Amino acid sequence: MVAAHKPLHPRAGEIPDLFGEHELPEGFRYEADVLSAAEEQALVRRFEGLAFKPYEFRGYSANRRIFTFGAEYVFAGQEVREDADVPDYLLPLTHIASRISGEPPKAFRQVMVTEYSPGAGVGWHRDRPQYEDVVGVSFLAPCVFRFRRRSGERWERRSARVEARSAYLLRGPAREVWQHSIAPMEVLRYSVTLRTFRPGKGHKAVRGN
Show the domains of the chain with their CATH numbers: 28-208 (2.60.120.590)
For the beta sheet containing 154-162, the strands, ordered from the edge strand earlier in sequence to the opposite edge, are 122-125, 179-182, 143-151, 154-162
- Quick one: which H or E segment has residue 197? strand 189-197
Residue 34, classified by CB atoms within 10 Å of its CB into exposed (0-12), middle (13-18) or buried (19+), is buried
pLDDT (tens, 9 = 90+) of the chain, 209 residues, equals 344 443 334 333 333 334 344 589 999 999 999 999 999 999 999 999 999 988 775 555 567 899 988 855 555 544 555 556 899 999 999 999 999 999 999 999 889 999 999 999 988 998 888 889 999 999 999 999 999 999 999 999 999 999 999 999 999 999 999 999 999 999 999 999 999 988 765 544 444 44
* 67-92 core/surface letters (b: 16 or more CB in 10 A; e: else): bbbbbbbbbbbbeeeeebebeeebeb
Supply the pTM of this predicted model.
0.81
Q: Could you give the angle at the alpha carbon of 201 between the alpha carbons of 195 and 207, nearest 5°?
A: 75
Contact indicator for 104, 91 with CB cutoff of 8 Å? no
pLDDT tens digit sequence for 65-117: 999 888 555 555 445 555 568 999 999 999 999 999 999 999 998 899 999 99
